[in-house]
Amino acid sequence: MAQGFGAAIRGRHSPMDADDVRAAYQRQARTYDSLFGLVSRQARQEAIAAVNRLPAETVLEVGVGTGLALPHYNPEKRITGIDLSHHMLEQARERVAALGLHHVEALLEMDAQATSFPAASFDAAVAMFVASVVPDPHLLVRELRRVVKPGGTILFVNHFAREHGPIWWAERALAPASSLLGWHPDFRLGHIFTPADLATAKIRDLRPLGLFRLVELPN
Ligand SMILES: C[S@@+](CC[C@H](N)C(=O)[O-])C[C@H]1O[C@@H](n2cnc3c(N)ncnc32)[C@H](O)[C@@H]1O
C-alpha cells in the first residue's frame, strides 16, 4: 500500500503488495512504453550493454514488463523473462512474436521473490526498474542469489534515492504516490542491499543526470 506523507518524509520505505503491483501495471501496460519506457531508455540500454558484455549465456530478466529490453540482447544469449503482471507479459509476448525474437526462451508469469526455478539455473540475472517495485526487495536479492550460479552476476538498474539535496526533496514529495506510480521514488540502496552486498558491488551512475544507477553484484 502507499505510504503516508509523514513516513515518506522520515524516509521509510513501505512495500506494495503483489495485488498493488498487478493493478498498477494493468493500468500502465498499454502506455508504459511511450511514458516510463522512454524516460528509462538510456539507462536500460546501458544495463543491456552490461549484460551483453558478460560471458553469461543463460540470463533471467525479472520484471521483464513489456519486453522493451528483449530485442537488444545479443542473439547468442538465452533469455527467460518473468513478471507478476499478466498484462505487461501480454505486451512482451506480442513483441517477441512480432520481432521473431528466437533468443527469448520463455516468458512466464511468476513472482521474482519466489520463483519455481531450481537453484543455479542461470549464468546471470537482471532486474531493470524492478527493485523499487517488488513487495520485498530483500527477498528478491535472496531469490536471485539462489537461481544464479555461483560466480555469476546479478544486475540491477534502478532509481535509488539521494540522501540530500533538491532531488532528495522531490523524491520525498513524490513518495506518497507510490501505489499510483507503481514504484517508490524514495527507495534507497540500503532498502535492498546489505553492507556486505555493497562492499562487493560495482555501482555506476547512468544518464540522464544520474537519475538511475547500475549495480552489478557478483554472486
Ligand atoms: C517499472 S516496470 C519495469 C519493466 C521492465 N523491466 C523495463 O525495463 O521496462 C516493473 C515491472 O516489474 C514487475 N514486477 C513487480 N514486482 C514483481 C515481482 N515480485 N515479480 C515479478 N515481476 C514483478 C511489474 O509487473 C512490472 O512489469
Burial class (CB in 10 A: 0-12, 13-18, 19+), 133: buried
Which three three-digit cell numbers place residue 168? 532528495
Question: Coil, strand or helix: which one is 39?
Answer: helix
pLDDT at 149: 98
> How high is the pLDDT of residue 127?
98
Ligand 1 center from residue 21 Cα (angstroms): 8
Give CA–CA dist 189/163, Å, rounded: 10
Say if ligand 1 is within 6 A of residue 21 CB: yes
Q: What is the pLDDT of residue 208?
A: 65
Kindly state if the Cβ of 157 falls inside 6 Å of ligand 1: no
pLDDT of residue 151: 98
Ligand 1 centroid to 22 CA: how many Å?
9
Q: Looking at residue 74, which CATH number applies to its domain?
A: 3.40.50.150
**Which of 46, 83, 181, 206 has most ligand 1 atoms within 8 Å of CB, for mutation?**
83
Would the CB of 133 count as within 6 Å of ligand 1?
Answer: yes
| Ligand 1 center to 133 CA (angstroms) | 7
Averaged over successive runs of 10 residues, the pLDDT of the chain (219 residues) comes to 32 66 92 88 95 98 98 98 97 98 98 97 97 90 98 95 67 64 72 94 84 94
Measured by CA distance, the residue closest to atom 4 of ligand 1 is 65
Per-residue confidence (pLDDT) for residue 3, from 0 to 100: 33
Q: What is the pLDDT of residue 32?
A: 92
Split into its structural domains, the chain has a count of 1
112: Cβ below 6 Å to ligand 1?
Answer: yes
Range of the domain at 50: 5-218
**pTM for the structure as a whole:** 0.88
